[in-house]
Homo-oligomer: A and B are copies of this chain.
Amino acid sequence: MNAAESLLQTALDAGVEVCFANPGTTEMPLVAALDRFRGVRAVLGLFEGVCTGAADGYGRMADRPAMTLLHLGPGFANGIANLHNARRARTPIVNVIGDHTTGHVRYDAPLTSDIESLARPVSGWVRTNTSPETLAADFAAAVAASRRPPGQVASLVVPVDCQWGPGTPPAPATAPTRGAANEERVQAAALRLREARRPALLLGGRALRAGALKEAARVAEVAGASLLSETFPARHERGAGLPNTTRLPYFPEQARELLATHDALVLVDARDPVAFFGYPETPSRLRPEAVPVVALCADSDDPADALALLADALDARKLPADASVLPPAPADGPIDPGSLGAILARAQPEGAVVMDEGATSGLAYGLSADAAPPHTVLSLTGGAIGQGLPVATGAAIACPDRKVIALQADGSGLYTVQALWTQARESLDVTTVICANRKYRILQVELARAGVAEPGPKAIGLTELTNPSIDWVSLGRGFGVPSARVETNRALAEELVAAMADPGPRLIEAVL
């Protein structure tokens, strides 16, 4: 047994069963060792952003880490954007980054770089392994760090000679679990809710899982509180039978206006909300100072437990299941974001996992899907676009029995379009719906907000995806995914019904 094998045995023992990889020469001992561990699945991404995004999607759905296997600083760097999103989602991920032999680094060979400087901004835990004897223990420490509540990205740099050196027994990876609720915080929240006239609960993180949502709805009913949810939650259980929440609006003036209608805010696994971007004359903090805030739980508490205690403290009753109805969907005509959302909400099967990186084209879907069959929505947590196709890929590997739907803005989808090939190779049950408005629509909105009423040809050129337009059907086929273009609501509905009935990857380019 060499050290690479000790690392993989450690992984297997710790329940790390998937390795999203784009390896190179400095990872060959780990590549060779993978064949000796049937329990660790190796999934190739054609670009590292696919691997890190897939690890994020896997971790969000499996609630345990996948590992990535990446090639020195530049290979890791290609994965940073999606690790940034994973950091914001608090997803457990273990990155293993190969490096030159310990003796070779000082010669500053072409691929040498400061890997730790690149890794730190997206990792809660970073370490460089220095000997084969400590590799299993270092990897176990990385796994434990990734699982430390609420979850984080852990990055381990491993010189290639430390991989091929002598092995050791595997090391155990132990991490604390989420703690029970803090009674004092619960009582403080109960007091605040009793005193307030128009309170709101802002739910985020694990408070958007089914169990916590139901407790939150009990609290809201007895306290006369609104149920708000984070703008971009990592994972939100939604649909028929689950309480609806009002999503905090993206633009700060709208969010602030909404929050100003309340006289108390109870945060439940959510941060005191801040604007996505800063603007002149707009405060960064969205909550007006006059609105007092309390946090129901610390980062590592179990919010479902805290909400249940809070409901009991308020003598809340058990609630009947929510009875939303699906909005009507147009039978035909040109597709717009509203019709797309309504049609998708009607087509999606029970248990679907919807990765929503629809950007401006995806907003309407969220409203339409309140009454869709129970499903899970994953959103773009960190604003680093190019998350959707990779996260859908990883979610499909975590949940092979659930249909995964990527609601994908066209501009964002082009960042990591290589994910389609991994979906084809692994025969993943992912339907990608490209919202093809052929522009970075949000940037045109932001130009207008910045006072540019009539953008010039360069500003238009930098925000439109035309001349030429992208042919997504060709791109999908190029990567081996059956693909179709639709330009009417009728055709969209038909293609979606076919895709939902047929397991395996599909791409639908919906021209808006």
Flag whether A180 is at the interface (Cβ < 8 A).
Answer: no
Expressed in whole angstroms, the minimum distance between the Cβ of A47 and any Cβ of chain B is 5
**Is A474 engaged at the interface, CB distance under 8 Å to the other chain?**
yes
How many subunits of this chain does the assembly comprise?
Answer: 2
| Chain B residue with Cβ nearest A452 | B32
Q: Which of A267-284 contact B (CB under 8 A)?
A: 274-280, 284
Closest Cβ of chain B to A312, distance in Å, is: 34
Q: State in angstroms the CA–CA spacing of A26 and B449 once bound together.
A: 12
| Complex partner residue of A461 from B44, B100, B275, CB under 8 angstroms | B44
* Nearest CB in chain B: distance from A398 CB, A: 19
B74 touches A109 (CB 8 A): no
Residue-wise, chain A 323-361 has the 8 Å CB interface mask toward B (1 for contact) of: 000000000000000000000000000000000000000
A22–chain B nearest beta-carbon distance, Å: 8
- Indicate whether A425 reaches chain B with its CB closer than 8 angstroms: yes
Chain B interface: which of A136-144, A197-205, A298-306, A464-472? Answer: A464-472
Contact mask A355-390 → B, CB, 8 Å, 1/0? Answer: 000000000000000000000000001111010000
- Residues of A whose CB lies within 8 Å of any CB of B are 21, 23-26, 28-29, 31-32, 34-36, 42, 44, 46-47, 49, 73-75, 77-78, 80-81, 84-85, 88, 100-101, 103-104, 107-111, 113-115, 117-118, 120-122, 160-161, 164, 232, 274-280, 284-285, 381-384, 386, 411, 414-415, 417-418, 421, 424-425, 442-443, 446-447, 450, 452, 455-459, 461-463, 465, 467-475, 477-480
Q: Given A32-B456, A46-B414, 13 other A-B contacts at CB below 8 A?
A: A25-B443, A26-B277, A28-B446, A35-B459, A44-B461, A78-B80, A104-B284, A107-B275, A107-B285, A109-B284, A114-B120, A472-B478, A474-B477
30 contacts between A and B (CB under 8 A): A25-B442, A25-B446, A28-B443, A28-B450, A28-B452, A32-B459, A34-B458, A35-B455, A35-B457, A35-B458, A35-B459, A42-B462, A44-B462, A46-B414, A46-B415, A47-B415, A49-B78, A78-B415, A80-B118, A100-B277, A103-B284, A104-B275, A104-B278, A109-B275, A117-B121, A160-B277, A414-B418, A417-B418, A424-B468, A471-B480
